[in-house]
Amino acid sequence: MKKYLLAFAVLAMSMAVFTACGSDDDEELLLPVITANFSEADLTVKEGETLVIEPKYANVDEKTTYEWTCRDAIISKEPKLTYIFYEYGTYAVRLKVTTKAGTSQQDFRITVNENLMIVDFEGEYWNGLIDNIQYNGPLLYGEKATEYAWSDSITGLSGGLTLAWGGSFGYSEGGTAISNYVDNNIQNHATYDYQLSVPASNGSKNFAVVYCNATIKFPEGVNHVIKSMQIGPTTYELGVVMNGDGYAASLAQEGNFTLTITANNGKTLDVDMARDGVILQTWKEVDLTSLGEVNSLTFTMDGSDQSDYGVKHPKYFAFDNVVVKF
């Protein structure tokens, strides 16, 4: 675990002079001096990381006592503070150094940040998971499509194809694929041939595209809070939602098309891709903290325009920059 050693120098507290009583010779008693020089950035750690504060002292001896307090509780009685903060926030830590001359004190403002990891789908590993062509490509529809899966090396978050019908039809059976295609021609390219495209970039290169039902998950027995993720439409989905395609109706005036995110703990969150003429046309950051600690999230889509086989609109959406709390 990363340790923040703070280098201290040159900020001396004022000294006081006292005269000992009952002595033939006057004896100067000097208050202890705490020497510290640092920036607030040096006093910033993450949840679960070890903070070490090691001041330098003058006018102290073996009988000197040290007391570090935080929120009215003593957290150490050593000259050097070694401490772990498990909750994010701002903390006021006070050091009191006491000798027979009296007590000196120093206050420290500690900033504890959340321990967050972001799954951004960037890098060579993720690049190797992007199919070409978008529809009927070798990765998502070829002989080895049943092996298509991804896993983030840091968070353990993973996904892939659902293999809902056994896997013979690849991505057509549902799942989560990695993509980097951007195509804003929603009028002419609103077909499954452009199923991995998004109409607008969110500033990064790669992202994930979900078709039909899909699940992303952490390793078995591991739970984390997913704080947020960016969610956006795909070129195909947005083109049909806005304009219709002869099968599904345009939702430009009325109707709804909704993504439901279901955690393994049973909690759910709805994200409207379209509702009563308000259509999600670009990326949106969605707060997922209400779902609590989760091992998995399952994505499903439903809407007002239905046939005997379910919702008519293409069940696609994209997500990126998954923020995981550790």
Total domains in the chain come to: 2
pLDDT, tens digit (0-9, with 9 covering 90-100), for 87-146: 999 999 999 999 999 999 999 999 999 999 999 999 999 999 999 999 999 999 999 999
Say which CATH number the domain at 77 has. 2.60.40.10
Contact 120, 50 (CB under 8 A): no
Q: Which two tokens stand for residue 21?
A: 């009583």
Say which CATH number the domain at 208 has. 2.60.120.1350
pLDDT, tens digit (0-9, with 9 covering 90-100), for 259-275: 999 999 999 999 999 99
Q: Which residues contact 218 (CB under 8 A, 6 or more apart)?
A: 155, 156, 157, 158, 224, 294, 295, 296
Domain boundary pick from 78, 113, 148: 113
Rounded distance between C-alpha atoms, residue 268 and residue 111, angstroms? 33
β-sheet bridge partners, residue 197: 181
Start-end of H helices in 1-76: none
Q: Do 163 and 176 reside in the same domain of the chain? A: yes
Closest CA to 211 of 160, 257, 285: 160
Confidence of residue 27 (pLDDT cuts 50, 70, 90): low
Q: Which residues contact 291 (CB under 8 A, 6 or more apart)?
A: 225, 226, 261, 263, 265, 267, 268, 269, 297
Q: Write out the residue range of the structural domain in which residue 42 sits.
A: 3-113
pLDDT at 39: 73
Start-end of H helices in 60-159: 124-127, 138-141
Rounded distance between C-alpha atoms, residue 189 and residue 185, angstroms? 6
Q: Do 314 and 209 reside in the same domain of the chain? A: yes
Rounded distance between C-alpha atoms, residue 229 and residue 233, angstroms? 13
Domain boundary pick from 66, 97, 113: 113
Q: Do 266 and 182 reside in the same domain of the chain? A: yes
pLDDT, tens digit (0-9, with 9 covering 90-100), for 180-221: 999 999 999 999 999 999 999 999 999 999 999 999 999 999
Domain boundary pick from 72, 91, 113: 113
